[in-house]
Structure 1
Amino acid sequence: MAGSRRPRARLSGNGGRAGASTSRWRLSRRWKRVIAVGGGFFAVCVALVAGLVVYGALTLPDINSIGQKTGTIRLVDVHGTVLAEVGHDATNRHNVTIDQIAPILQQATVAAEDRNFYNEGAINPARILKALVDDVILHRPAEGASTITQQLAKQAFFGTDASKSPLRKVREALLANQLDSKYTKQQILEQYLNINYYGENAYGIENASMAYFGKHAKGLTLMEASLLAGLPQAPSYNDPYNNPDAAYARMHYVLGSLVAVGNIKQADADAVDPLVGGSSPTPEQQTAQQTNQQALHADLQNGKPNTAGPAPHFVAYIQDQLQQIFGATDPQYLQGDLVVTTTLDLATENLANTAVAKGVAKLLSSGANNGALLMINAHTGAIEAMVGSASFTNNAIAGQYNIVTASRRPGSSFKPYVYEAGFKNGTLKPDTILQDTRAQSQKYGGVTDFDSRFLGPMTAARALTLSRNVATEQAADKAGIQNVIDLAYGMGISEKLTPQEPNLSTAIGTSAVRMIDHASAYAAFANGGHKVVANGILKITDGAGNVIRDYSTPANLGDVLTSQQAWTITSILRGYAKQWNLHFRYDTAGKSGTTDHFIDAWYMTYTPDWVVATWTGHTSGSNSAEQGMNQVFGTATGAAIAVPFVNSLSKPSAFKPVTGALSDCSQSDSALVSPSGCPTPSPSPSVTATPSSSPTPTASPSPSFTLPAVTPTPTPTPSIAPTPTAAPPAATAARREEVAVAERRRAG
C-alpha cells in the first residue's frame, strides 16, 4: 500500500514558485488559444480584404472611358443657335481645357480641396485615418478624406451613387491609383474641374462661370474664383442665392487657404474679404466686407443663375430621345462629339417662356403657380416650343418636372374626340339633338355641369361649343365609348383610357393624357386628318460633320380622319374663342378643359399651321397631393397664356372649308359657330348675348359629376365641381341662354 502511495508535491523554498510556474503555463495556454482564434480571424479578414481587392480590380471600369463620358453633345435649334452642350452622362456641361480656366480658379480649387495635390499620390492615408478618428471615435463631422484624384474617380465612374460600401471604396481607390499613373496632375485637375457640380444645374467650371457671372472661366477674378471654388463641397448648402451667408463663409475659407499655401498675399485676400486675417474686425472692415459682398451679389448674373439654359425641358427631352435612339452603350453615342439639330425655334421658345411666366403671374392670386406650353407643327409634328413649367429652377413648384410629358386629366379638352367618333361612324351629325336634362343625367350616374343646371335639347355642335357634360356623355353613348377610345388612340393618345361604364366619364376627360400626345392628336384636326407624332430631332451629325441620323423627312403615318371629318370638328371649334370671349388676333379653333376641383386648366388651340397646348395648375415640390385653384377655368388659361402667345406669332395660314363636310346651316345659327361651318338649327334657343370678359365658366369647366367613379390617375375622384362664385350678368352659359329666351319673348 505504502509503495503505491503517490509522492506529495514538494514545496519549494521560494514559497510556491512551482505552483506559479504551473499557473503561468496554464495561462499561456489560454493565450495561445486566444492568439490562435485571433490569428485565424485576422487571416480571414486579410483573405476577405484581399478577395475584395481582387474582385474590385477585376470589375473596374476602363479609365479610358473618362474622356468619353465627359465628351459633349451640342444641341442646336432649327436655325443653328446653340441650345446647350451636354455630357454623354446626361449632365449640362461644356468642357474646356486647363488653359481656358483662370489660374486663380485652379489654385483656389486645389487650396480648398487638396493642398498636397501636386506632391502626393492618388490617396492620402493620413487624411483617411484622421477622417476615421473624427467620424468613428470623436463623433464629429469629418473633413474630406478624398484627394482630388479620388473625387474625380468617384464622380466620373460612380456619379450620384452615395454608397460607402467597402467594395465601392476599394474600387474608388484602385481607380484613383490608375488615374494617377496614367495622367498628369494638370490633366487630372482639368477633368475634375469639367466634371464638378457647382449647384443650380451647372456641371463643369465653364457652365458655372457662365451661369453665375456671365463670363468664360478664363476671365474669373479672385473674388469670383474664391466663391466658385467653395461651391462643390456642398453645392445646395453653399448656394449664394438661397444661402448667401454660407456661400460667403465658404469663400472666406477658400481665401484663407490661398493665403496659407502662398498663392496670394494677405493684402489680396483682405481686398476681397477684410476679415480673412481672423482678428477682431473693426467697423471699417465690417463695412468693407459688406460692400464687397453686395458688389459680388450684384455681379451674379441677373441676381439668379440662368443655369437652366434657354429651353431646359426640351433639352432634357432630347437627351431622353438620344438614349432611345442609340442606347446607353452604343459606341457611336459614347465616343466623340455629336451635333443634334433640333426642331425648336429659339425665338418662339422665348415667346412661349414669356407667355407662361406672365400668364401664371396673372393667375397667381387665384392659386395657380405653374404653367406649361407646347407648340408643334400641324403637318410634321415638329416641336417648335416646349415650356414644361413656369420656372425650371424653382424647386417649390417642382419646376424640373416636365408637364408637357406628364400624365394629366384633360377635362373637356377631350370632348372633340367624342364628337369626332360620332361624326366618323355616322351616329352623330352637327345638328343631332342631344338632351341636356336631369333625366339624361340620371341615366349616366348623376353627371352634372359646372353650373348645376340643365339647358334642355340642343344640337351636338352647340353641346360641344358650350361644353355640356350631360349632352357629351349622351354623344359618347351614341358613338360608342369604345369607338371614342379607339379613335383617341389612333390619333395619338398613348395613356390607357377606360370606358368607365355606365357613366362614360372618360368622355368628359377623367382619364389622364400627356400634353405631347394631346397636341399630336389635335394636329389631325388642324391638318385635314393626317396623323403626326410630336418630334424634336431633325438630324444628328458626328464631330466630322457626317450625318449619322436623318429625321428631316417625317414618316408617313397615314390618315386617321378624312378631310371632311376633320373639317366638321374644326368648323365648330372655330367659334369657340368668340363664344368664350378670347381675343385672338387670328382665326383659330380651340377647346378648353377644366378638371374637378380646378386641379388642371387647359386650353388647346390650332390653325392649319400649328397646334398650341397650354396648361395651368398648382404644384408643389414637397407635397405630392394635388391642390386645386380658385375658379381657374380652362378659358382663364387661354386668356392668360394662349392668347398672348398666339398673338405674338406671325400670321398663320387661313382655314379653308372642305366640300362635303357636315357643316351646312342657316344664318340664324351663325352666332353659335363660324359662318363657314355650323350646325342646322335646333329647338334649343341660340346664344345671342355677348359673353362676359371675365374668366368665367369656360367650355371646359364641366368636369363636374356626382358619381364616385374610379379613375386611372391619382387625382381625386370626381365629384360635383365647385359652382362659380357670383358672376356678372351673362357670365354663365345658363344665364346667356335665359337672356336669349327673354329677349326673344319680348321681341315676339
Structure 2
Amino acid sequence: MDRQAADNRKKSRPVSGWSKLRRRIGWMTLLSLIALAATGFLLLKYAPLPAGATMQSTRILDANGQTIASLKGGVNRPTAKLADISPWLVKATLAVEDRRFYEHAGVDWRGLARAAWVDLRHMSKEQGASTLTQQLARNLYLSHERTWTRKLKEAWYAGRLEQSFTKDEILELYLNQIYYGHGAYGAEAASRLYFNKPAKELTIAESALLAGIPKGPRYYSPHLNPKSSRARQRKVLQSLLETGQITKLQADRAARENVAVRALPEEEERAAPYFAEYVKKIAVERLGIDERLMNEGGLTIRTTLDLRMQQMAEAAVKKGLTGANEELQAALIAVDPRNGYIKAMVGGRSFRTNQYNRVFTNTRQPGSSFKPIVYAAALENRTITAATRFRSEPTLFYFDHGRQIYRPGNYSGRYAHADIGLRQAISASDNIYAVHTIVQTGPEAVISMARKLGIASPLKAVPSLALGTFPVSPFEMAYAFSVFAGGGERVEPIAITLVQDRRGKVLYESHPQRTQAIEPALAYVTTHLLKSVFERGGTARRVANMIKRPVAGKSGTTDSDAWFVGYTPELTTAVWLGYDRGRPITSGEAHRAAPIFAQYTEAALSGTAPKGFPVPEGVVHAYIDPATGLLASPACPGEGAVEVFLEGTEPLRSCGPLGSAVEVKPNRDEQSGRSWWRKLRGWWRS
C-alpha cells in the first residue's frame, strides 16, 4: 500500500526545468545529425563536381628574377580509350595501386585501417591509403598540400566521382591523367615516350615498368634511376602474381626480359639545365613538394643562381675543352662563401647528350687538392707551422705499428733533395711533406677537420689520405674551401631561397644555417699559404696573370682526374676534369683545369672591385729565414721573407753567428699578436 502511494506521488511530481532542457537538446542534436546526414547524402548524390584544375607553368627564377626554366613546356598528354590500353597495364596498375578498386565506393576503409595498423606498428608512415579514385580526385580538383582539410575534400570528391561515373570510366580517366615523368601524362604518352609504341601493345614487362613509375616519377624513371626502376618493376610483377593476374612462369619471364627503353628526345638547350634539374630534385625530395605540383601547379621558385655568372661558367668550360677528346668531361660549381648560395653549375660537357650531373654524383680522388685540409688540421693541432721543415726526398713511412709501409712519390719524380717549409711544399705540391704532416698530426685529426668543413664522403685513417686517395665530389670540395674563404664559417649550401604557389602564398623560405667550423685565424693562415700556388714556382703560376685580384687555391692531379679548387672573398669555385669511366688523362688534359678556374673567376667577378682577405685577431706576421725557419737576422744564410702564424706558434729564435740560434724574447706587441711587421700590414693586406 505504501509502495503504491509512493509511485503515485512520483508520477504526479512535476518535471524539472533542467530535465526538459536536456530532452530538448537531445532532440535537437538528433535532428541536426539527421539533417547533416541528409544534406551529405544529397550533396554526394546530386552536387556537381567542380571543373578540373587547369595546368599552370612553374617557373624557376635566378637570383635577379630572370627565368631559368618553365616546367610546363613539353607537356605530353594524348588520351586513349580504356579498350586501347593494354590489359596488362590496367592489371599492373590496379595490383600495385588499388587492389580493391572494384569493391570500394571511393574510399577503401578496410585498406585505410590496414595502413594505419602497419604505420602504428612501424611508428612511421610506410603504407599509403589513397585509392585510385582519391588520387584522381586530387589530381583533378585539389592541390597537393598535406592537410586534413585537403584529405577530407579528397574523400568527398572521390565519393562523388564514384556516384557520377562507372568504375571503368574512372579507371580510364585515371590512366589518362596520371603522371609518368619527363612531361608524359597518361598511359598513351608514357608508352610512346619510353617504348615508342601505342599503349595497347605493351607487354607484361613493359606494363610492370610503367605501372611502377607514378609512385615517384623521378626516383623510378628508367632514365634517371635505372636500378630503382628495375627494382620497382619486380615489385609490380610480384603484386600481379599475388593477385593471381599472372602465373609464376610469366612473372619470371617478365623479370628476365631485357626491356628496351627508348632514349629521351632531344630538347632545346636550356639555361643552366643541370642546375634546373638539381632544383627540381631538391624541391621534391628535400622540401616535400609533390612532383605533379612542381610540373603544373603554377609555382614560382626563386633560386640563388646568377645567370650572368652561369653563362661565364659555361663559356669557360667550353673554351677549356676546345680541342680535347670529345669524351673528356668537366664539372664546375661556384658558390658564394658569405651565404652558401650556388651561383653557377656546370654538370658536364653537354646536358642534351648526357644528363649525369658530375658536380654531385661524380665522386673522384681529389689528389693534392685535398692537402689544404691536411695542413689546416695540422695547424689547428699545432703539430706544424709555416716554419716547420721536412726533407723532400724519396721516403719510406711505417704505419699500423710498423706492420705496413707506405712509399709515396712526387709527381714526375721531382724532389727538392733538401729541407723545405710549408709554403714551398704547398707551392710545389710536395707529396713527401704532406705525408710527413699527416704522420705527425694523425689521420684521425685530418678526418675530423674534413667533417668540420662539410665533407661527408667515406675517408680512411691511413697515410695516403694526405694525397687525396679517397673520392669526394666537386660539391663537397667547393663548400670545404668556402670555409677558408669565409673566415672559418660554414654555411649550409643553398639553391632555393623561396617557393610560392600560384596565389603568391609562401610554401618555403630559406634560412641559412651558419656554423663557426674553424677559428678565423686558422682560416686566414691557411688562405695566406694557399696564395703561394699562384706565385713564382707555384703549380698555378701559369694562370696567375689571368686573375687581377687576391686569390687562393690548390690544384690536384691523379692518374684519371684533374682538379682546381680556389677562391676569392666573394666566390669559391671547384673545377674537375676527367673521363666518366676513369680512363687515364694526359698531362695536357690535366693542365686544362686551372685555366678554366682562372677564366671563370675573373669573368664572373668583372665589375667587382678586388678585395683582400681580412686579417682577423690571433694572426701574427713574422720576418723569417726560409732556409732555417728561424727569425731572420743578418746572420741567417738565406734571404728573409714575411710569414704568417697562429698567435703563439711563431718562432722566437733568430739566426746567430755561424748559423747558431739566438732566442729572441717577444715584446708586449709580439705577445699580443702585434709584431713589428704591423707597420707594413696595410701594404700586405693588399
TM-score of Structure 1 vs Structure 2, range by shorter chain:
0.5 to 0.7
Post-superposition Cα deviations, 1:44-76, rounded to whole Å, max 9, x if no partner, equal xxxxxxxxxxxxxxxxxxxx9997897754321
Letter in 2 for 1:371: A
SS at match of 1:615: strand
Distance 1:196 1:451, change over 3 A: closer
Letter in 2 for 1:645: Y
1:371 equivalent in alignment to 2:330: yes
Contact 1:326 / 1:333 at 8 angstroms: preserved in 2? no
Contact 2:623 / 2:641 at 8 angstroms: preserved in 1? no
Residue equivalent to 1:461: 423
> Out of 550, 562, 565, which is 1:601 matched to?
562
SS at match of 2:489: coil
1:339 equivalent in alignment to 2:278: no
Residue equivalent to 2:345: 386
SS at match of 1:75: strand
Residue equivalent to 2:513: 555
Contact 1:571 / 1:674 at 8 angstroms: preserved in 2? no
Residue equivalent to 2:63: 78
Shift in Å at residue 312 of structure 1? 2.1
> Out of 418, 422, 427, which is 2:374 matched to?
418
Contact 1:524 / 1:566 at 8 angstroms: preserved in 2? yes
Shift in Å at residue 604 of structure 1? 0.6
Shift in Å at residue 480 of structure 1? 1.8
State the superposition RMSD in angstroms. Answer: 4.7
SS at match of 2:527: helix
Letter in 2 for 1:555: Q
SS at match of 1:392: coil
Contact 1:368 / 1:616 at 8 angstroms: preserved in 2? no
Residue equivalent to 1:728: none
Letter in 1 for 2:437: A
Counterparts of residues 133-532 of structure 1 (less than 5 Å): 145-146=84-85, 167=95, 181=165, 233=192, 305-307=266-268, 309-327=270-288, 336-364=297-325, 369-395=328-354, 399-440=355-396, 445-456=406-417, 457-500=419-462, 504-532=463-491
SS at match of 2:492: coil
Post-superposition Cα deviations, 1:218-266, rounded to whole Å, max 9, x if no partner, equal xxxxxxxxxxx9997367879xxxxxxxxxxxxxxxxxxxxxxxxxxxx
**Partners of 1:498 and 1:65 in 2: how far apart?**
60
SS at match of 2:331: strand
Counterparts of residues 704-743 of structure 1 (less than 5 Å): none
Letter in 1 for 2:533: Y
Shift in Å at residue 460 of structure 1? 1.3
Distance 1:358 1:331, change over 3 A: closer
> Out of 551, 554, 563, which is 1:588 matched to?
551
Distance 1:170 1:437, change over 3 A: closer
Letter in 2 for 1:642: F
SS at match of 1:400: coil
Residue equivalent to 2:232: none
Contact 2:280 / 2:294 at 8 angstroms: preserved in 1? no
Letter in 2 for 1:661: V
Shift in Å at residue 373 of structure 1? 0.5
Distance 1:642 1:237, change over 3 A: farther
Contact 2:564 / 2:575 at 8 angstroms: preserved in 1? yes
SS at match of 1:409: coil
1:538 equivalent in alignment to 2:480: no
Residue equivalent to 1:25: none
Post-superposition Cα deviations, 1:601-654, rounded to whole Å, max 9, x if no partner, equal 1101100111011111112xxxxx421112246543112x11221221223541
How many percent identity over aligned positions? Answer: 23
TM-score, normalization by structure 2:
0.57
Q: Say how many residue pairs are matched.
A: 453
Shift in Å at residue 384 of structure 1? 0.5
**342-351 or 626-635, which moves further after superposition?**
626-635
> Out of 509, 515, 532, which is 1:575 matched to?
532
**Unaligned segments of structure 1, at least 5 residues:** 1-63, 87-91, 97-105, 115-121, 125-144, 206-228, 239-303, 620-624, 684-748
Distance 1:383 1:546, change over 3 A: same
Distance 1:332 1:555, change over 3 A: farther
Distance 1:93 1:436, change over 3 A: same
Post-superposition Cα deviations, 1:199-225, rounded to whole Å, max 9, x if no partner, equal xx66579xxxxxxxxxxxxxxxxxxxx
Shift in Å at residue 403 of structure 1? 3.2
Contact 2:58 / 2:296 at 8 angstroms: preserved in 1? no
